[in-house]
């Protein structure tokens, strides 16, 4: 590792060695430094939030930071980032939370522009659920904003984080003329005035957050903090459809209602808002991409084949009467059917079945029926539009997939690759630090690669046998201490002597691990 190592990284890793292994810094803000780490025992990624040392020395900041952790640790909800551990060691005050592989709502908007209405409704409903859960337990977030909403990459699930200034209802009520806490652009009018707040204040902030998500700007802007706060208190929020006309009226009305100045005019609970959003979303069926591809191709191919058959008709008038002959689909029809057959075989090979296709077809039919109702489509056109999905969702579709599956052996879907083992990541990081040392230092510590490899192999063997107790902790801690000694030497804050001492300890622990594994092997041999 050749990137600069921060003092916070080194100090915290000394405390966490054997339990958590820090990989890198994810970011830092006014109330914390966030680090990516790995849980040694469970071998999974986690995030660690560390209070900056200069704030840890301030009793008020320290208490508020610990309050964030203890508040969030009491919440267990699929749309709230979980807290696993809260600790304080001198000036090191931190908590360990679930790692979300994704980005914040702000980062998403900055990267890809305003959200689509469909995605915005999904995220809005999930955050409303999370806030309703917290409110029912007497907790008010008080800082709902785009930076505090994470979007998970794999599922696009919304997770609320950073309850750093959350207060219980009683405490919030007792601070009637108290300090203004929060983020000005997303703060409710009553919060901006320092008045008591309740759940409806969070819903105002949620409305302001999704105003930003849909338009790319906050409802109120200003050059100074007092100017923004003054607008929050005195000016009505702009209407969503004025800023972005293509937002559906129902969704825009929800956001506009959240942004009412008077709390009594807003949604009264998060559950109320989530229910209204759910009604607007309707059936939220999302088929896998390959299934959607077949559905689209089936619709287009069916309509094209029907059109070709009609266009291929010929009418002949003779003395014997009138004859009508139907033209076949020809080469284009054959190509379309072959294309559908290829996609169908791919679906079957990947483990999908006819019922998966049928569900996707019926969901698409429902969406089209709703659209036809809105645009007042003629009845005969609606009936014509139903032919394609009735054909493929019925006996014809079942027969087609049966034919497509002839002589095809379905392969098991490959399991998602797991993250690399903690001990392997540590060994690789330590070797990188060792290789970055001057040649003279490497010569004095030439046994480092061999000891690292021995410890990594021993830790891997322990984990494979399900031994995730004291021996594994010792092995990983030894790797960690050796890595830290190399980091310090690389940064100029350590010495070869410290590396040599860590190397001796690592060598001794490696021998203990080998003895442990040998004893296990002997027992297994006797039991055979």
Residue among 43, 143, 202, 256 flagged as catalytic: 143
Tell me how far apart the 2 most distant CA atoms of the chain are, in Å.
Answer: 112
* Rounded distance between C-alpha atoms, residue 381 and residue 172, angstroms: 59
**In whole angstroms, what is the distance from residue 321 CA to residue 32 CA?**
90
**Residue of 364, 105, 123, 112 lying closest to 212 (CA atoms):** 105
Please give the Cα distance from 441 to 445 (Å, whole number). Answer: 6
Q: State how far Cα 149 lies from the chain centre.
A: 10
H/E segment holding residue 316:
strand 314-318
- Residue 98 and residue 147: Cα distance in Å, rounded? 16
Contact between 263 and 193 under an 8 Å Cβ cutoff? The reply is no
CB 153 within 8 A of CB 107: no
Q: 101 an active-site residue?
A: no
What percent of the residues of the chain are helix, what percent strand, and what percent coil, each to the nearest 5?
60, 10, 30
b/e sequence 224-249, b meaning 16+ C-beta within 10 Å: eeeebbebbbeeebebbbebbeebee
End-to-end CA distance of the chain, in Å?
45
How far, CA to CA in Å, does 236 sit from each of 49, 117, 133, 147, 239?
A: 37, 23, 29, 24, 9
- Tell me which residues are annotated as active site: 143
């Amino acid at each position: 590792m050749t990137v600069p190592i921060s003092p916070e990284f080194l100090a915290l890793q000394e405390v966490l060695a054997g339990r958590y292994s820090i990989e890198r810094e994810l970011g830092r803000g006014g109330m914390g430094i966030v680090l990516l780490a790995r849980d040694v025992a469970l071998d999974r990624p986690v995030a660690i939030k560390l209070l900056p040392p200069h704030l840890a020395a301030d009793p008020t900041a320290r208490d508020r930071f610990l309050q964030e952790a203890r508040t969030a640790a009491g919440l267990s909800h699929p749309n709230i980032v979980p807290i696993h551990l809260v600790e304080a060691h001198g000036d090191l005050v931190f908590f360990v939370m679930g790692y979300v592989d994704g980005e914040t709502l702000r980062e998403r908007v900055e990267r890809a522009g305003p959200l689509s209405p469909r995605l915005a409704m999904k995220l809005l409903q999930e955050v409303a659920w999370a806030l309703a859960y917290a409110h029912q337990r007497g907790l008010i977030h008080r800082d709902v904003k785009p930076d505090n909403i994470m979007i998970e990459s794999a599922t696009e699930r919304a997770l609320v984080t950073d309850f750093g200034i959350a207060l219980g209802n009683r405490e919030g009520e007792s601070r009637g003329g108290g300090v203004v806490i929060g983020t000005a652009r997303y703060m409710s009018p009553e919060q901006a005035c320092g008045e008591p707040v309740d759940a409806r204040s969070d819903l105002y902030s949620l409305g302001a957050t999704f105003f930003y998500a849909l338009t790319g700007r906050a409802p109120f802007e200003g050059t100074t903090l007092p100017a923004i706060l003054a607008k929050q208190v005195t000016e009505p929020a702009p209407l969503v459809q004025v800023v972005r006309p293509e937002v559906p009226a129902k969704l825009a009305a929800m956001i506009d209602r959240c942004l009412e100045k008077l709390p009594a005019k807003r949604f009264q609970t998060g559950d109320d808002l989530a229910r209204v959003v759910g009604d607007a979303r309707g059936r939220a069926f999302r088929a896998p991409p390959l299934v959607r591809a077949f559905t689209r191709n089936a619709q287009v191919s069916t309509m094209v084949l029907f059109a070709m058959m009609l266009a291929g008709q010929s009418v002949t008038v003779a003395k014997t009467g009138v004859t009508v002959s139907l033209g076949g689909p020809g080469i284009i029809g054959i190509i379309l059917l072959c294309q559908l057959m290829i996609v169908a075989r791919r679906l079957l090979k990947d483990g999908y079945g006819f019922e998966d296709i049928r569900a996707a077809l019926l969901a698409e039919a429902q969406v089209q029926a709703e659209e036809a109702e809105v645009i007042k489509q003629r009845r005969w056109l609606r009936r014509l539009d139903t032919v394609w999905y009735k054909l493929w969702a019925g006996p014809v579709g079942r027969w087609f997939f049966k034919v497509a599956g002839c002589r095809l052996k379905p392969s098991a879907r490959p399991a998602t690759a797991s993250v690399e083992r903690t001990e392997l990541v540590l060994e690789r990081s330590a070797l990188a630090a060792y290789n970055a040392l001057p040649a003279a230092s490497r010569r004095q510590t030439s046994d480092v690669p061999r000891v690292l490899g021995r410890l990594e192999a021993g830790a891997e063997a322990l984990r494979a046998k399900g031994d995730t107790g004291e021996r594994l902790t010792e092995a990983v801690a030894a790797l960690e201490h050796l890595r830290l000694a190399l980091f310090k030497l690389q940064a100029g804050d350590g010495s070869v002597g410290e590396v040599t001492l860590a190397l001796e300890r690592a060598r001794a622990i490696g021998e203990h691990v080998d003895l442990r594994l040998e004893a296990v092997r002997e027992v297994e041999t006797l039991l055979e």
